[in-house]
């Protein structure tokens, strides 16, 4: 039972306000979003920050639901499990997600994320419009590739990501997005 206390200490130390690990469905996604919204309402979070956090959460959760691949590895306990976490610090929210992806997608995802991170605010806006106008990147699962661009635009930050190999076929894709909270000072200083 000590692991429960250790988990609790980790969550407190890392300022985690919501953690979900397991299979993601549309129903679970709705529940996770509702819990996070109630938490932000309870602390009286600024509506513009809440909108940004909510938007990034939606994109992360949709990415997990639509694009997770099953890890075909008997040594990997939860073969199609993903993880979603949101943490709140005094000056920011940290939204983290992770899910298995096929190794043949890693280079494509990495290239897309590196390109998005290379763009400034105006470049992201132009790229977003270009994707919509030209239907670039429309995937068989219904994504147009706008999610990562939208996350970068809403957060105003670079997207942090990593790929940890699980086996020869699957890697674990981790994505972290930071949303700055208003601190009473202008962010444009």
Within a domain: 187: no
Residues 47-79 pLDDT 10s: 999 999 999 999 999 888 887 776 555 455 555
Q: How many structural domains are present in the chain? A: 1
- Position 144 scores a pLDDT of 54
Tell me the pTM. 0.84
Residue 145: give its domain's CATH number.
3.30.565.10
Give the structural domain span for 130.
2-180
CA distance 135 to 139: 10
Within a domain: 154: yes
Within a domain: 136: yes
% of the chain beyond a pLDDT of 90? 58
Supply the DSSP string of 14-51, one letter for each residue: TTEEEEEEE---HHHHHHHHHHHHHHHHHTT--HHHHH
């Amino acid at each position: 039972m000590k692991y429960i206390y250790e988990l609790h200490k980790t969550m407190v130390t890392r300022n985690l306000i919501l953690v979900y690990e397991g299979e993601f469905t549309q129903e679970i996604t709705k529940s996770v979003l509702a819990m996070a919204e109630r938490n932000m309402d309870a602390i009286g979070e600024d509506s513009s920050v809440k909108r940004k956090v909510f938007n990034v959460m939606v994109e992360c959760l949709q990415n997990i639901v639509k694009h997770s691949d099953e890890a075909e590895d008997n040594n990997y306990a939860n073969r199609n499990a993903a993880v979603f976490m949101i943490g709140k610090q005094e000056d920011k929210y940290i939204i983290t997600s992770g899910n298995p992806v096929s190794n043949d997608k890693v280079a494509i995802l990495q290239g897309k994320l590196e390109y998005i991170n290379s763009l400034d605010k105006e470049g992201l806006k132009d790229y977003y419009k270009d994707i919509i106008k030209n239907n670039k990147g429309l995937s068989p699962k219904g994504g147009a590739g706008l999610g990562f661009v939208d996350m970068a635009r809403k957060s105003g930050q670079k997207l942090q990501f990593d790929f940890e190999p699980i086996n020869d076929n699957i890697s674990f894709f981790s994505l972290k997005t930071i949303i700055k909270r208003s601190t009473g000072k202008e962010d444009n200083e």
